[in-house]
Chain A
Amino acid sequence: MTVAVRDLRSFWQRAVRIGRQIIGVPDYENYLAHLRRHHPERALPSYAEFFNERQEARYKGGGGRCC
């Protein structure tokens, strides 16, 4: 039973990660890893800050979308 719950949970988390990237929100964990590695002096944004910033950026200027 617990295995099933764990599987379900990991499936959902995978779906969330893929879903976010398909709609153009980059992977948060990946960005944190990038910051830690290359810019250790910077403060890490919370997911909410990161999401809001990316959402604004996506619709600024050219919007990639077809008819």
Chain B
Amino acid sequence: MDSVAAKIGWLALAAIGAICLGVIALHRGESINAIWLVAAALSVFTIGYRFYGRMIATHVLKLDPTRATPAQLRNDGLDYVPTDKWIVFGHHFAAIAGAGPLVGPVLAAQMGYLPGTLWILFGVVFAGAVQDFMILGLSLRRDGRSLGHMLRAELGNVAGVICMIGVLVLMMIVLAVLALVVVKALAISPWGTFTVACTIPIAILMGVYLRYLRPGRVLEVSIIGLVLLLLSIWGGGVVAADPAWAPYFTFSASQLAWLVIGYGFFASVLPVWLLLAPRDYLSTFLKIGTIALLAIAILFSAPYLQMPAVTKFVDGSGPVFAGNLFPFLFITIACGAVSGWHSIIASGTTPKLLANEREALMVGYGGMLVEAFVAIMALIAATALHPGIYFAMNSPAAAIGVDVQSAAAAISQWGFVVTPQDLLDTAKNIGETTILSRAGGAPTLAVGMAQLLHNIMPGEGMMAFWYHYAILFEALFILTTVDAGTRVGRFMIQELVGLAVPALQKTESWTGNLIATAFCVAIWGYFLYQGAVDPLGGINTLWPLFGIANQMLAAIALILSCVVVVKLKRERYLWVPALPACWLVICTLTAGWQKLFDPSPKLGFPAAAKKFADAIAENKITAPAKSIAEMQRIVFNNYLDAALTALFMLLVVAAVVFGVRTMLAARRLSRPSANEEPYVAIGASA
């Protein structure tokens, strides 16, 4: 009886999901309410979790509730601790959710809300959640080992090295592109700059409090920090309105890039308790709180989506990023649909905390579904904006010019009618002087969030408050990522260089520390600066590189999953990881190929380099460059980006070759050959 009722319930949910998707996909002309997207997402995710996720748990990973997890086998009260599944879920989600799912969907909104929505919904169910869940499952059976360790054990040392190089380069690109998001958001914005700058003394205050005044009282100090942050938003408004103070906090993009580079260096050599850790705590709580707030704002204000379902920019001519829907949509929305980064987290702390294998379904698969929901909310916030505003904020100056008249004219010509006054009014409402060419996702999301929150909590001047709140919220965890990532990069560099110069390997030595940190900051700082001065806006160049790298890592993680499935003699289910693995390999290689060989300078790196090199040969200055030296730099940077793209493609191809070879070898064996730890029943070890 119960099961009949359950079946009817699931059928009803499937019907609701199908109707919502139908409405979203077939609706044309009049704008559509965002609630349809929310309902479609919730139904697809619930069905995906209940059926696909559970199928993977039962048949592909064969999770066993009687089998002891690493947390139980090695319980040391510190690293390996059996923990309540909801807490593991919170910890895992806080680690995977970052700026990625917020930025990608906003950029992809240039193609309309439909392509992004469909990719997020189906990408997460069949690719992203599968990857996170499977890697978590594999690590659970291997003492909670990392992705690199597992690759070495299952595919050999060379595959392990490939992964290490891939992760290091990806990390540098991530740091550069995220820092660029902050730079783009704060350029010529004294309010934002003041508020974000305040997070440094606030974090230091919190650090001292946590260390000396009330050691380890994390929650109370975070509440104090939050109050101070809100005060700093208010203070930013006062500073921005003050003609004497505002200039001290008004910086161009390239000045801010230098400031962030300097910040990254100092922050990552300071002791962690002083700046990094307290701000990380604050940003984690703020992140979870703000995501909940965004969900409430969308539900209560139920905005209409003003962006068309599909815009003409699916043909690759869009101003935000170049390239056709295939493959670039699937590169642009990485986090939120599928993200290689997560495989590092799913094989990091999380597997050392789970008390039961079956809980991996909720934490691994479920955690990624929630991240996808965050991506859907970001997409809603961006597409609920007037498209004219959206394109003004996200198009480079090369496409729309530098003043509101030229911007309004250019955007209206694309079919999104907007007046110069609209652009000025929007800037004024959010307490800024301009909204033009603020690509990078954060400002657009902030305007979208500000409008949603303003809908449910109206009030004079509140738009500006919410806008800067949203900017602060993103900058807070991006800057945390920048200094934590610089530390990780420094350790990796010390490890790598230490092979040749053993003296540099001592991570406690200040000389080794400073040299490796400077080196690490120089790498991502180079790309950041390049992005900040790039006339096409930087995001245009760096985001696809980041997307390709991130999807490359996801492909490697899924190839590992394929190999283990074959080694365990479960070939019947090989398609589960193989389907997304193939798709990502196709997407990354096609995108890489186009970035390398497309004759259009907008898309192909070498084509762009050639355009400027030819002009240099004729001694002609080509806009938007202003001097021959600037043009030479553009040429060099484009070749550098091309080389990186080629490297990523090479890594993907190598991973495929190693994976296929290992799978063929494993097939010839008559017994399972994966390197799992032996079975121990729960309770048998205690």
Q: Contact between A15 and B174 (Cβ–Cβ < 8 Å)? A: no
Known: A61-B488, A67-B100, A67-B550. A15 touches B146 (CB 8 A): no
Residue of B272, B344, B487, B491 touching A64 (CB-CB under 8 A): B344
Q: Contact between A22 and B485 (Cβ–Cβ < 8 Å)? A: no
Q: Contact between A65 and B81 (Cβ–Cβ < 8 Å)? A: no
Cβ of A40 to closest chain B Cβ, rounded Å: 14
Q: Contact between A54 and B349 (Cβ–Cβ < 8 Å)? A: no
Known: A27-B81, A61-B488. A66 touches B97 (CB 8 A): yes
Q: Is A56 engaged at the interface, CB distance under 8 Å to the other chain?
A: yes
Cβ of B166 to closest chain A Cβ, rounded Å: 15
**Contact code string A16-59 (vs B, CB < 8 Å = 1, else 0):** 10111111111100110111000000000001101110111111
Q: Report B-chain residues with C-beta under 8 Å of the C-beta of A47.
A: 215-216
Known: A15-B219, A19-B285, A30-B77. A64 touches B90 (CB 8 A): no
Known: A54-B78, A65-B345, A66-B98. A19 touches B491 (CB 8 A): no
Q: Is B189 engaged at the interface, CB distance under 8 Å to the other chain?
A: no
Residue of A22, A26, A56, A67 touching B339 (CB-CB under 8 A): A67
Residue of A18, A22, A59 touching B284 (CB-CB under 8 A): A22
Q: Contact between B219 and A19 (Cβ–Cβ < 8 Å)? A: yes
Residue of B77, B284, B546 touching A23 (CB-CB under 8 A): B284
Give complex CA distance A58, B679 in Å. Answer: 29
Q: Contact between A21 and B272 (Cβ–Cβ < 8 Å)? A: no
Give complex CA distance A62, B350 in Å. Answer: 13
Q: Contact between B87 and A23 (Cβ–Cβ < 8 Å)? A: no
Q: Is B386 engaged at the interface, CB distance under 8 Å to the other chain?
A: no
Q: Contact between A22 and B94 (Cβ–Cβ < 8 Å)? A: yes
Residue of A48, A55, A65 touching B272 (CB-CB under 8 A): A55
Q: Report B-chain residues with C-beta under 8 Å of the C-beta of A24.
A: 91, 349
Number of inter-chain CB pairs below 8 Å: 119
Q: Is B342 engaged at the interface, CB distance under 8 Å to the other chain?
A: yes
Give complex CA distance A52, B210 in Å. Answer: 9
Give complex CA distance A52, B273 in Å. Answer: 8
Q: Report B-chain residues with C-beta under 8 Å of the C-beta of A65.
A: 95, 98, 345, 480-481, 484-485
Tell me the nearest residue of chain A to B96, going by C-beta.
A66
- Chain B count of residues within 8 A CB distance of the other chain: 55
Known: A23-B280, A59-B487. A66 touches B335 (CB 8 A): yes
List residues 151-193 of chain B with CB under 8 A from any CB of chain A.
174, 178
Residue of A34, A52, A67 touching B215 (CB-CB under 8 A): A52
Give complex CA distance A57, B100 in Å. Answer: 26
Cβ of A43 to closest chain B Cβ, rounded Å: 15
Q: Is B277 engaged at the interface, CB distance under 8 Å to the other chain?
A: yes
Q: Report B-chain residues with C-beta under 8 Å of the C-beta of A50.
A: 216
**Contact code string B258-284 (vs A, CB < 8 Å = 1, else 0):** 000000000000001100110011001
- Give the most central of A19, A22, A26, A66: most B CB within 10 Å: A66
Cβ of A21 to closest chain B Cβ, rounded Å: 5
Q: Contact between B77 and A26 (Cβ–Cβ < 8 Å)? A: yes
Q: Report A-chain residues with C-beta under 8 Å of the C-beta of B491.
A: 61-62
Q: Contact between A22 and B90 (Cβ–Cβ < 8 Å)? A: yes
Q: Report A-chain residues with C-beta under 8 Å of the C-beta of B272.
A: 55-56, 58-59
Q: Report B-chain residues with C-beta under 8 Å of the C-beta of A57.
A: 78-79
| Chain A residues touching B, majority SS | helix
Tell me the nearest residue of chain A to B91, going by C-beta.
A22
Tell me the nearest residue of chain A to B171, going by C-beta.
A67
Tell me the nearest residue of chain B to A53, going by C-beta.
B78
Tell me the nearest residue of chain B to A51, going by C-beta.
B216
Q: Contact between A25 and B218 (Cβ–Cβ < 8 Å)? A: yes
Q: Contact between B174 and A67 (Cβ–Cβ < 8 Å)? A: yes
- Chain A count of residues within 8 A CB distance of the other chain: 35
**Contact code string B405-424 (vs A, CB < 8 Å = 1, else 0):** 00000000000000000000
Give complex CA distance A44, B174 in Å. Answer: 41
Q: Contact between B218 and A35 (Cβ–Cβ < 8 Å)? A: no
Q: Contact between B281 and A63 (Cβ–Cβ < 8 Å)? A: no
Q: Is B99 engaged at the interface, CB distance under 8 Å to the other chain?
A: yes
Q: Is B83 engaged at the interface, CB distance under 8 Å to the other chain?
A: yes
Q: Is B327 engaged at the interface, CB distance under 8 Å to the other chain?
A: no
Q: Report B-chain residues with C-beta under 8 Å of the C-beta of A35.
A: 77
Q: Report A-chain residues with C-beta under 8 Å of the C-beta of B94.
A: 22-23
Cβ of A65 to closest chain B Cβ, rounded Å: 6
Q: Report B-chain residues with C-beta under 8 Å of the C-beta of A54.
A: 78
Q: Report B-chain residues with C-beta under 8 Å of the C-beta of A64.
A: 95, 344-345, 348-350
Cβ of B219 to closest chain A Cβ, rounded Å: 5
Cβ of B90 to closest chain A Cβ, rounded Å: 4
Q: Contact between A16 and B219 (Cβ–Cβ < 8 Å)? A: yes
Q: Report B-chain residues with C-beta under 8 Å of the C-beta of A26.
A: 77-78, 81
Q: Report B-chain residues with C-beta under 8 Å of the C-beta of A23.
A: 91, 94, 218, 280-281, 284-285
Give complex CA distance A48, B90 in Å. Answer: 24
Q: Contact between A67 and B146 (Cβ–Cβ < 8 Å)? A: no
Give complex CA distance A22, B348 in Å. Answer: 14
List residues 276-310 of chain B with CB under 8 A from any CB of chain A.
276-277, 280-281, 284-285, 288
Residue of A20, A31, A55 touching B273 (CB-CB under 8 A): A55
Give complex CA distance A65, B87 in Å. Answer: 17
Give complex CA distance A50, B81 in Å. Answer: 15
Known: A55-B272, A59-B276, A66-B341. A34 touches B77 (CB 8 A): yes
Q: Is B211 engaged at the interface, CB distance under 8 Å to the other chain?
A: yes
Give complex CA distance A25, B217 in Å. Answer: 11
Q: Report A-chain residues with C-beta under 8 Å of the C-beta of B100.
A: 66-67
Apart from A58-B277, A66-B96, what are 17 other A-B pairs with CB-CB below 8 Å? A18-B90, A19-B219, A21-B83, A21-B90, A22-B90, A23-B91, A23-B284, A26-B77, A26-B78, A34-B75, A52-B211, A52-B215, A52-B273, A58-B272, A61-B491, A62-B344, A64-B345
Q: Which residues of A contact B (CB under 8 A)?
A: 15-16, 18-27, 30-31, 33-35, 47-48, 50-52, 54-59, 61-67
Q: Which residues of B contact A (CB under 8 A)?
A: 75-79, 81, 83, 87, 90-91, 94-100, 146, 174, 178, 210-211, 215-219, 222, 272-273, 276-277, 280-281, 284-285, 288, 335, 339, 341-342, 344-345, 348-350, 480-481, 484-485, 487-488, 491, 546, 550
For this complex, 27 residue pairs linking A to B, each with C-beta atoms less than 8 Å apart, are: A19-B218, A21-B83, A21-B91, A22-B87, A22-B288, A23-B281, A25-B216, A25-B218, A26-B81, A33-B77, A34-B77, A48-B216, A51-B215, A52-B273, A54-B78, A55-B272, A56-B272, A57-B78, A58-B277, A59-B487, A61-B488, A64-B344, A66-B335, A67-B99, A67-B100, A67-B178, A67-B339
6 closest A-B pairs by beta carbon, nearest first, are: A51-B216, A48-B215, A34-B77, A31-B77, A64-B348, A67-B100
